[in-house]
Structure 1
Amino acid sequence: MVNETLALKRIGEWADLSGEEFHLYLDIAADVQSEKLDEQEGSERLSGEQYFDFLNEQVLPDERVIDELELAGLSEEKLQRFRDGQVPILEMYSEQYKLDYGLDQVADFVMMLKFVRDYMKLTGEDSVAPRNRLQYLLYLVNLELSKEDTLPNRSNRTTLGNLEHTGYRYNFSKGSGPYSQKLYRDKNRLFAQSLLHEEVMEERVSEGDEPYEISLGENGERLIAKYGKKLDNLDSVLLKEWDLQQRDVIREYGTKSMEELKELVRSMPQFQATPKNEELLKARQRDFDEPVDPIQELMLNV
């Protein structure tokens, strides 16, 4: 499910609410949402557009929400969208997370998609779950790249090894495990474009884990079906090194339980030596010097 509070906030921003009026709307809408979810069987499995439909059908037209919006002086045009259950929630997400980025950002998007595809393919799982598993595994991809210095004809300016030249542009900090806010932001961008899919897990997870599972979205499935062979035979040395490390991480760590994965990462010297909330691992430092096929072609065709 999309972050519930974030969705309601975004709707309030679309309605041009601010200050006390914004907070009053948010409190009322959150209460209505909680009440409606409690009444609805199977609500824990709402995801993506199902959740947006739920908001438009059961939460936003509720008279308590409408009354507050009227008091806030909402324009009649937007107020009618609330009454009719026609608030353009999906467009809010799609517009904010429109894939209109430079090569380096697009490379992160494509390699994350490829990681999810390869994870499911190599482990036999239907998704990456729980959601924080993605943080651990992509951290390990960058960590392993930083331990090697094999890329030819390149002068290093840092001690990051291959991670200076390739890998994800995500800085990881130390929380209960490795954490990158930028990784989650990019995951949300891919979700908004239906390249990734995310939904609540049906099975219970340990306390501290995020009970969501990540798989390819409808557009992601189409992209992989069309370009999967090209993604498996990357021409760029930089992308190939990145890809090989991803596959190695999946093979070595992909089938471990979350408890095993947590224990392994938390016992690593670098993790133990880093104070909580401090930087655990820097991102790739260099930009790609020139277009890296097939990255641009892939994303231009989404």
Structure 2
Amino acid sequence: MPEVVASGVSFALALLFYSSASALFFLDIARSRARLPSAADTAGPGRQAAARPSAAAALPASRFAPRLLGAGALGHAIYVTLASFVARVCPVHSVHFMLSVASLLAIAVYLVARRRFHIDALGLLIGPLGLAFLLGTFFLGKPNPEPKLNPLFIVAHVMANLLGIALFFLAGAAAALYLVQEKRLKRKRHIERMGNLPALDTLDRAVHRFLTAGFPLLTLGLVTGTTWAHHLEMGNTEEVMRAVFGYATWLLIALVLLLRAAAGWRGRRAAYGTIAGLACASAVLVIYLVRPAAGLGG
């Protein structure tokens, strides 16, 4: 029973930390910058200095949110480990386990890259992502048994897909923030209330870098997955749908990268293409999740 208690405690802590981090990221983005220019523009040097503490007040959310996100990821990892290897309610080869690992990898990459690429605002989407997959692992229960996978397949296919999905999550988050930022700029309204969202060029570069890093992994996952499916001689509805969406994901991301290099596709068009590719990848995951209830494999 101690492992059951430890599992429950780690889940509760991960839930608390993820929720707190998501709230702080939201507050950090929503915080208005308007009061800083208004204080500085309407006052002399002395009053400008007096206005600076409000900038310092913006620091706690930016400082503590990533730490809480990391603490939530640690609790999430402990919970998934106990659920998979001790309680055995979340098999290692199940999609629930894979989604949890993908979200943990996405969080790890984000925490490492956020300062270098100036993408702290992506935490606004990465925090809820980890929270959603944590809850999914907890509430979806034990999935149907999967075919056993040999170690080579796990290394070549599963890990490539997990790392690729983690990078695509980050690319999709950056693309979504790009579209939000661009929409606000085009409306030319409430520009002073844009919070701490990164500049459009910063978000565009982040999208490209994450896609460039994730595309070779997606290609490897697609090739090994096709070989494995052919080896198992599977041709049911579920396999066909997964193949269609998997190839559509690869094609969309390939087009985004190709058109960026050959035709200068950047900004909004690259963001829409990235989100479309992520939507196809998400459809593959949805098929994994709903098939026990929908009977797709029959």
TM over 0.5: no
TM-score by length of 2: 0.25
Bigger share in helix: 2
> TM-score w.r.t. structure 1 length?
0.25
Larger strand percent = 1
